[in-house]
Structure formats: C-alpha cells, structure tokens
Structure 1
Amino acid sequence: MITIEPVGDWNWEAEVSGDAARPSHAVTLAGAIWDILAARELALPPGRLRFSVRSFSDMRDVHVSLEDRPVESGRLPSDVAVADAAGRADRLKGDFLVSLRIMCPGVWWESGVRYRAEQLFAFQVDIWKSSLAVVTLETYSDAWLTMDTREREQLAVHAVNEPRLRAVLDDITSLMGVPPEPGDSNRHATPTGRGFADPRVEGFAYSDSWGTYDVPARARRLRQLLPPSEGEYEEITDHPVCYFTVRRGDQVLGYVWASVGEDAAGFEPRTAAGNAAFDAGAEWVLRLREAYEEGLSAIDALGWLARVPVRPEMGCIVEDTPQQAESLDALEDLSGRY
C-alpha cells in the first residue's frame, strides 16, 4: 500500500565544520543521497525540491527560499536556481537552520510487475548553526514489510524490495559516517537500523492501519480541494460499487464510482499518482455534484460521466462499460495498492 503519512523514517546526525558546515553543503549532500536512491530506482525524475534558510532565533524569518523545484538528477549544484539559492545562503552571516527537502518518485516490484509511486520516498537535509548535519529519510510504501499495512502476508514482495531499502540505509550510513537512528514505531510499522521489524513477530500497533487512517486522510485531503456543498451523493456505501478507471496519458489517476444499491458516489484517488490524483478527483466530484443537482441517481450519474466531455487535466474514462467491485473497501484497496 502507498500511504499518506510515512510508514517509517530514519535519521543520521553528524557534526560538521569548515566547508561541510556551509549551507551549500546541504545541496551537495542531497545530491549524493538522491544518487544513492536512484541507483535502486527509489528516486526517479522528476523529484520536487524545497530549500530554505531561516534565522535560528526566529523560524518565521526566512532569508532564502526555493519552492517546488524539479529534480532530474543528483547533479543539484549544477542547477542554476539551486546553485543561486545556495550561493546566497553561503553569503549570510549568523546562526541559521538550512533545510533542503526532496520528494522522490520511485518504483517497487510486485508479482514481477514494476509500479511507480510519485512519492515513494522523501528525504530532508538540515544544517543547524553551521555545526550539525541531520539527514532524515522517509518511506511511503509498505513494500519493505513481510505483511502489508492491511495485515496480509507478502513474503514475495518483501523479498524483492527489502534488500533495496537495506542497501540504501547502508549507503547513507557510509556517506554520513554515523549509524541511523530509527524513527519511533508508528501506526503503520516499526523501523529498525536495517529496515523494519517483522510484523509477523512484533505485530502491528493498529489493526488495518491503512484502512483505519489512510482512507479517511485521503477523503479529507480531497474534500479540502472542494467548495462547500448543500447537496450531493453519499460518500460511503455498504453495497457493491460500479466504477470507471480515470487515466491521463499512461497514468491511472483513480476511480469514479457509484453504489449499486443506494444513492452514493464518489472518486477514489490512486495514492501512487500523487497530487495529480487529488486534483483530478476534485474535478470529478464537482461533475458528480452537477449530476446530483440534475436529479440523476448515482448509477445514472456514472453513465452520464462517461458521455460528457471533460478537460484534459481531469483525465478520461478508459472503459466502455463500468467495472464492478464487491465493495467500496475493495475499490479503496485497489486505489491504494497499485
């Protein structure tokens, strides 16, 4: 499953001085970490970079800021905008917190198939007061676990993916010269110095953590993109659902659905597609609201959606006839798993 919040995280802290304490070193270090991830297809372009320099005494005082910069490779110092921001940071005098964060698309393997997620990993490099470098690595997939976050055994998935994570942790440890400090056990899993504790032995802190937490979190994230509404279809159902797949180019964005047995309909964003899934999902929900205002039943609204023209950024329905899922939970599972 691909999650909204990290499945686990790791931290490396190393004292620095001289050139390694300059703000521009955060860029060099981030480039090296990108390359470590990229060597295992755990960082693929385009990543998204954020860079900032803040006064240590007042974090609201931002001296340098670079937002949403695309990352194509580990050669970050050669990127004009990144190099300019780092150069301006190097010329500052005083105590600062330097932060560089990159969201990393990447791939995992399952049943011999290569799947891409737009945020498989994220990492951050912080330099505190020109004396301490801190690297934080986060993963948003359970492909490294022997059981997924819905408590289903996945030994074959673990076998092909876990060594890639372990190699990344080892390489970042060699780069930093200090061992990682695993993050705390969370709702999804328990990180260790070499990966994750085996949930078959340790157990999970919560039953079906993905269904319990990620499904509501996805719904809230989608709802935040929508204006208030006085009338619309119900968002949940206990009945089977019919659905259409929404695709833009070669990327599946999600699934627009309607209940077979009651007036419920909605959109399930494909988590692996990232922000694009939620942006498109909001547009499809707005179309469902139009159908509701016209008095269409949920099932009729689904058929109407297949006929009306849509904007390219929304993606398009790819099937001629709707597919059927035994439950909304099954469709949610599909949208979070692949």
Structure 2
Amino acid sequence: MITTEPIGDWTWEVTPATADARPSQAAEIAVAVWNVLARQELAVPVGKVGLSVRAMHDARDVRLDVRGLALEADPLAPGTALADALARAEAFEGDFLTGLRIQCPGIWLESGVKHRAEQLFTIQVDIWKAGLIVVTLETYSDAWLTMDTREREQPTIHAENAPRLTAALQAVSDLLGDAPEPGDPNRHATPTTTGFEDLTVEGPAYTDSWGTFEVPTRSRRLLSVLPRTENEYEDITDHPVRYFTVQRDGRTLGYVWASTGDNAAGYEPRTAAGDDAFEAGAGWVLRLREAHGRGLGSLEALDWLRQSPPSPDLGHFSEELPRQAPSLDALEELSGRY
C-alpha cells in the first residue's frame, strides 16, 4: 500500500566540514542521496524540490519558501531553477534554519512487475544555525515489510523489495560516514538501521493501520482545500459501489464512486499518483456537490458526471459504463495499492 504519511524514517547527523554550512551544501547532500536511491530505482525522474529559509528565533519569519521545482538532470548547474533558488538562500546572513526537501518518485516490485509511486521516498536536509546538518529519509510504501499495512503477509513482495532498501540505507550511511538513527515505532511499523522489524514476529501495532489511519488522512487532505458545506453526499456506505476511473494523460488519478444502496458518493485518490490525484480530486468533489445541489441521487450523479465532462485538467472517465466493486473498502484498497 502507498501512504500519504511515512511508513518509517531514518536520520543521519552530519558535522559540516567548515563552521559555516551553506544552503548549497544541503543541496549537494540531498542530490547525492537521490543518486544513491536511483541506483536501486527507489528514485526516478522527475523529483520535486522545495527550499525554505526561516529565522531560528521565529519560525514564522520566512525569508524564502519555494516549492515544486523540478529536479533536473544536473540540478546544481548554473541557470537551473534549484541553483537560482540556492543563490537567493546563500545571500541571507544570520542564524537561519535552511530546509531542502526532495519528493522522490520511485519503483516498487510485485511479482517482477514494476509499479511507480510519485512519492516513494522523501529526502529532507536541514541546516541548523550553520553548524549542524541533519539528513532524514522517509518512505511511503509498505513494500519493505513482511506484512502489509492491512495485516497480510507478503513474503514475495518483501523478498523483492526489502534488500533494495537495505542496500540503499547502507550506501547512504557510507556516503554520510555514519549509521542512521531509525525513527520511532509508529502506527505502521518499526524502522531499524537496515530496514524494518519483522512484523510476522513482532506483530503490527494496529489492526489494518492503512484503513484505520490512511483513509481518513487522505480524506482530510482532499477536503482541506475546499470550503465546508452540508451540500454533499454521505462519504461512507456498507453497500457495493459503482465507479468510474479518472485518467489524465494516460495515468490513473483516482475513482469517482456512488453507492448502489444509499445516497453515498465520493472520490478516492490513487495515492501512487501523488499530488495530482488530490488536486484533481478536489475538482471532482466540487462536481459531486453540484450534482447534490441539483437534487440528484448518488447513482444519478454518477451518470450526470459521465454526460457532463469537466475541464480537461480534472481528467476524464476511462470507461463508457461504470464498474462495480463489492464494497467501498475494496475500491479504497485498489486506490491505495496501484
């Protein structure tokens, strides 16, 4: 399963070679870690970079905050978007917290088949008062675990993917000169210096942690950019659901669904599609609200959406007729896995 919050994380502390660490050093380290992940296809083009500079004494004092820069083939070369942002960051003088974050698309394997997630890992490099560099690696997939986040054993998937993570962690440690500090145990798993503890031995901390925590988290993220309203369908159902697949540029972004037995309807983002799934999904939720305001039942709304396609940036339905899933949970499973 692919998550929007980390499955686990690892941290390295790096003492700068000089007493005055600069933002360019954070970028050099982050790109070097990206290249380590790329050897295992844990990072593939094109990553997204964010850079921020904040005053140490007041985090609200933001001097620079740029996001969504493309990680180009030679990202530190003069004239690239990242190089220009770094030049602005280097111009500040004083005590600052500099943070550079790379969102890494990557490949996970299942039965030899490659699956891409737009945020398989993130790389975060922070400089504290120019005297300490902290590197954090986070992962957003359960492919490295002996049991997935729905409590199902997955020995084949683990065997295909866990060694890739172990090799990457070792290579990053070799690069940075020290072993990582594993993150704390969380609702999904317990990180170790080489990957994760064996859940078949330790047991998961929560029953179906993906369904219990991730599904509500996705919903909150989706709705956070929209105004509150009571003009909408119920968002849960115990009945089978009919759904259309939303695609754009040949890529699945999510699923618009309606209950077959009550007045529930909604949109499930395909987590592996990353930010695009949520950005498009907000538009589909607004379309459902419009249908609700017209007095349409949930299945009528699904048909109305099929006959009234939105602007191309929201994507389009890939089917002429809706498909049917035995439950909303089954559709959520589909949206979170591939």
Q: Provide TM-score, normalisation by structure 2.
A: 0.94
After superposition, give the CA deviation of every residue in 1:297-322 in whole Å (9 maximum; x if it has no partner). 21122122212122111111111221
- How far residue 333 of structure 1 moved from its aligned partner, in angstroms, is 0.7
Query: Which residue matches 1:279?
Result: 279
Which stretch of the first structure deviates more once superposed, 173-182 or 93-102? 93-102
Residues 75, 82 of structure 2: 8 Å contact kept: no
- How far residue 114 of structure 1 moved from its aligned partner, in angstroms, is 1.5
Which stretch of the first structure deviates more once superposed, 51-60 or 97-106? 51-60
Call closer, same or farther: CA 1:288–1:53 in 2, change over 3 Å.
closer
Match of 2:257, as an amino acid?
A: W
2:156 match: secondary structure: helix
Residues 44, 72 of structure 1: 8 Å contact kept: no
- How far residue 69 of structure 1 moved from its aligned partner, in angstroms, is 1.1
Residues 30, 74 of structure 1: 8 Å contact kept: no
2:162 match: secondary structure: helix
- How far residue 55 of structure 1 moved from its aligned partner, in angstroms, is 2.8
Match of 2:197, as an amino acid?
A: A
- How far residue 282 of structure 1 moved from its aligned partner, in angstroms, is 1.8
Query: Which residue matches 2:220?
Result: 220
Query: Which residue matches 1:197?
Result: 197
2:60 match: secondary structure: coil
1:104 match: secondary structure: strand
> For residues 79 and 44 of structure 2, what CA distance do their matches in structure 1 show?
17
Match of 1:18, as an amino acid?
A: T
> For residues 275 and 335 of structure 1, what CA distance do their matches in structure 2 show?
14
Call closer, same or farther: CA 1:56–1:244 in 2, change over 3 Å.
same
Query: Which residue matches 1:96?
Result: 96
Residues 17, 131 of structure 1: 8 Å contact kept: no
- Pair 1:84-2:84 in alignment: yes
> For residues 230 and 265 of structure 1, what CA distance do their matches in structure 2 show?
14
After superposition, give the CA deviation of every residue in 1:220-261 in whole Å (9 maximum; x if it has no partner). 111223223233221110011111111111210111111111
- How far residue 129 of structure 1 moved from its aligned partner, in angstroms, is 2.4
Match of 1:99, as an amino acid?
A: G
2:309 match: secondary structure: coil
- How far residue 72 of structure 1 moved from its aligned partner, in angstroms, is 2.7
Match of 2:11, as an amino acid?
A: N
1:16 match: secondary structure: coil
- How far residue 85 of structure 1 moved from its aligned partner, in angstroms, is 3.3
Query: Which residue matches 1:304?
Result: 304
Structure 1: tracts of 5 or more residues without a match: none
2:70 match: secondary structure: strand
Which stretch of the first structure deviates more once superposed, 224-233 or 40-49? 224-233
- How far residue 79 of structure 1 moved from its aligned partner, in angstroms, is 5.0
> For residues 174 and 74 of structure 2, what CA distance do their matches in structure 1 show?
17
Identity %: 60
> For residues 138 and 156 of structure 1, what CA distance do their matches in structure 2 show?
23
- How far residue 20 of structure 1 moved from its aligned partner, in angstroms, is 7.9
Query: Which residue matches 1:293?
Result: 293
Query: Which residue matches 2:234?
Result: 234
2:280 match: secondary structure: helix
- How many residues are paired up? 338
Call closer, same or farther: CA 1:246–1:64 in 2, change over 3 Å.
closer
> For residues 226 and 208 of structure 2, what CA distance do their matches in structure 1 show?
28
- How far residue 68 of structure 1 moved from its aligned partner, in angstroms, is 2.1
Residues 50, 100 of structure 2: 8 Å contact kept: yes
C-alpha RMSD of the superposition = 1.8
Which stretch of the first structure deviates more once superposed, 106-115 or 81-90? 81-90
- How far residue 289 of structure 1 moved from its aligned partner, in angstroms, is 2.0
1:149 match: secondary structure: coil
1:142 match: secondary structure: coil
> For residues 85 and 294 of structure 2, what CA distance do their matches in structure 1 show?
52
**1:115-126, aligned counterparts within 5 Å?**
115-126=115-126
Call closer, same or farther: CA 1:305–1:181 in 2, change over 3 Å.
same
Query: Which residue matches 2:330?
Result: 330
Call closer, same or farther: CA 1:27–1:295 in 2, change over 3 Å.
same
- Pair 1:151-2:154 in alignment: no
Q: Provide TM-score, normalisation by structure 1.
A: 0.94
Call closer, same or farther: CA 1:166–1:20 in 2, change over 3 Å.
farther
- How far residue 270 of structure 1 moved from its aligned partner, in angstroms, is 0.6
Residues 52, 62 of structure 1: 8 Å contact kept: yes
After superposition, give the CA deviation of every residue in 1:112-168 in whole Å (9 maximum; x if it has no partner). 321111111001111222222110000010011111000011111111111111111
Query: Which residue matches 1:8?
Result: 8
Show structure 1 runs of 4+ deviating over 6 A: none
Call closer, same or farther: CA 1:244–1:89 in 2, change over 3 Å.
closer
> For residues 92 and 227 of structure 1, what CA distance do their matches in structure 2 show?
37
Residues 146, 200 of structure 2: 8 Å contact kept: yes
> For residues 31 and 16 of structure 1, what CA distance do their matches in structure 2 show?
16
Match of 1:183, as an amino acid?
A: G
- Pair 1:36-2:36 in alignment: yes
Call closer, same or farther: CA 1:234–1:62 in 2, change over 3 Å.
closer
- How far residue 284 of structure 1 moved from its aligned partner, in angstroms, is 1.6
